[in-house]
Structure 1
């Protein structure tokens, strides 16, 4: 009974949102096919690898799929700032900033179609044990890369939706 009531409420909410002009981003034609036609060219380094890996997962790239029609060039920069200094001038926390500038290029011409930049800021604890600090820093890098990939994917999806509607 409770499950049926929940389904009815969800259906009503969907009708209300549809009446307001709400349409899910991925319902737009061309968004999914546009995203799956993007190949990522990431810079070298751990952060570049992590962002590339997250983007490939998020953009639904499949080996053996049709030839890509877009190339996403990335430029990654990282910064780390000490925060929360103790009396002995040792940081207890760090702020990690990952910036990913991207250019979406049409293939095979290489003409730029869209450019953008995402910035992810997060903090992590610094432990007294050196290996714990390295693990915390790597975890921060992984979380920032995943968030940067998510933001890039959303910006590209919105752009593909605009292109389909134009």
Structure 2
């Protein structure tokens, strides 16, 4: 009897997964991380974004990371859009020992962005993204400095990838004629 129940439960799960796959394929679902996740038109739209200079060292690193993600082939494409970004950084010390020394730190980066049409300055989309990256606070100042810089690099990579995804989703969105309407 137990074997009989397991067999039908297993079949029930298999049929459920198959039905879900068929339903998702019929609704226009497109994978976000697949090889063809960003359409050719969206890639062209992303490549036509000019990223304005961002203040401080973290801003420079973010601008460079965004440039590599938005324009991976570094072609000369007419810049139809302008991306304005501001970045804020804060450090919180955690895991305080009895002698009041911290052994863990959280580096928080918050980026606010707005995408504008280059021709007339019309804001097309805007938003903000936040990421937290942890690191160890060690007895060696140099080791702590290196750990903090590594946390900053990881946080910037995360911000850049999140912003790229959001912009790609905006350009792929229904009715988004952002890149198709010439200014």
Contact 2:49 2:82 in 1 (8 A): yes
Q: After TM superposition, list the pairs within 5 Å mapping 1:104-143 onto structure 2.
A: 104-143=115-154
What stretches of structure 1 of length at least 5 have no aligned partner?
Answer: 1-11
Compared CA separation, residues 82 and 27, structure 1 to 2 (3 A): closer
| Secondary structure of 1:109's aligned partner | coil
> Structure 2: any 5+ residue segments left out of the alignment?
1-17, 178-183
Instruction: Determine whether 1:83 maps to 2:94.
Output: yes
Q: What is the TM-score with the length of structure 2 in the denominator?
A: 0.76
Aligned residues of 2:105 and 2:135 also touching (Cα < 8 A): yes
Matches within 5 A, 1:48-67: 48-60=59-71, 62-67=73-78
Select the residue among 2, 7, 21 that pairs with 2:28.
21
Taking a change above 3 Å as real, the CA distance of residues 109 and 74 of structure 1, as seen in their structure-2 partners, is same
Aligned with residue 33 of structure 1, among 40, 44, 57: 44
Deviations 1:31-50 (A, max 9, x none): 11111111111322111011
State how far apart, in whole Å, the 2-side matches of 1:33 and 1:164 are.
17
1:30–1:164 CA contact under 8 A, matched in 2: no
- Of 139, 144, 160, 2:171 maps to 160
Instruction: Provide the secondary structure at the position in 1 that maps to 2:148.
Output: helix
Deviations 1:100-155 (A, max 9, x none): 00010101212211101000012110111010010011001110000001111111
Q: Secondary structure at the match of 2:173?
A: helix
Which residue of the partner structure matches residue 54 of structure 2? Answer: 43
Higher relative contact order (CA 8 A, sep 6+): 1
TM-score by length of 1: 0.83
Distance 1:123 1:61 in 2: 29
